[in-house]
Chain A
Amino acid sequence: MAEALQKKLQSELEKYKQMQKDVSKSMSARQKLEAQLTENNIVKEELDILESANTVYKLIGPVLVKQDLDEAKATVAKRLEYINGEIQRYETLLKDMEKKSEQHREVLSSLQQEYQKAQGRAVGKV
């Protein structure tokens, strides 16, 4: 009885650890997105200041390619939109994970209690 419980407890603990790993992975991905968002916002501000007389170049690999100012603005705007969407997606994902790990924690603690009780009984019998 206690052994079966212990096995279950262990496998649940493994699952919980895996979940925690996923959470921290998503966390760092979200942080990276946040940094990209800041960087792109700064670029957008700079592009907004420019006049059409300014020439814009885009670095593609090792070469600079001339690009239209409006095109560059559109690209950055699209990027910002994408990044914001991604952040939203991670936000909901993280919330979901948070809820799941909360539930898992409860399952774990009740399992632990059960296990301890079972052990106590086993000792009592001997």
Chain B
Amino acid sequence: MAVNLTELSLQQLEGLKTQFDQEVEFLTSSIGQLKVVQTKYVEAKDSLNVLNKSNEGKELLVPLTSSMYVPGTLNDVEHVLVDVGTGYYVEKNVEDSKAFFKRKIDFLTKQIEKIQPALQEKHGMKQAVIEVMNVKIQQLQQSQQASQAVGPAKA
């Protein structure tokens, strides 16, 4: 590190700590969001396993709203419609869709792995700042107590 933490004033350290706090929070929430999306893709990929030949023609209930279902039959177990982003949907067969979801899950894993070290680094820096702050506060308190002890004796 280029700056020696012990040379900074308490106020500067406080500022640094808030900054690190914000950065840590931002990175943590980013990872959280990525994980949420990843879970969605994992769920979607798992649901594809239901679409196999043995389930073709079976009856199922289709949710029209969250509280109303209508009966239907599973006609096509080979094709699904996948949202690829920005309003585009692509008809793919089950194998391709699985590959698509795997790609997405891998992509997200990579992104999370990219963020994780940055988060750890920021966290470590924050801890270092807090430590220096504690030392400074203790020094301040000690010097205050010393001057208080001297004060009344003079008066």
Contacts and interface: CB of A to CB of B under 8 A. Distances in A.
A53 B85 CA distance: 20
A43 B91 CA distance: 14
A60 B86 CA distance: 11
Contacts of A59: 87-89
Contacts of B81: 57, 64
B85 A57 contact: no
A108 interface: no
A91 B89 CA distance: 33
B89 A43 contact: no
A57 B88 CA distance: 6
Nearest to A61: B87
A50 interface: yes
A40 interface: yes
A55 B84 contact: no
B86 A39 contact: yes
A15 interface: no
A50 B90 contact: yes
Contacts of A27: none
B40 interface: no
A72 B92 CA distance: 16
Interface size classification for chain B? 10 to 19
B130 to A, nearest CB: 29
Contacts of A57: 81, 88-91
A60 B91 CA distance: 16
Contact of A54 (B85, B86, B90): B90
A106 interface: no
A47 B84 contact: yes
A99 interface: no
Contacts of B87: 58-60
Interface in B105-148: none
Contacts of A39: 85-86
A50 B81 CA distance: 13
Contacts of A76: 86, 88
A99 to B, nearest CB: 26
Contacts of A46: 84-85, 88, 90, 100
Nearest to A59: B87
Contacts of A43: 84-86, 88
A122 interface: no
B99 to A, nearest CB: 9
Interface of B: 81, 84-92, 100
Interface of A: 39-40, 42-43, 46-47, 50, 54-60, 64, 72, 76, 79
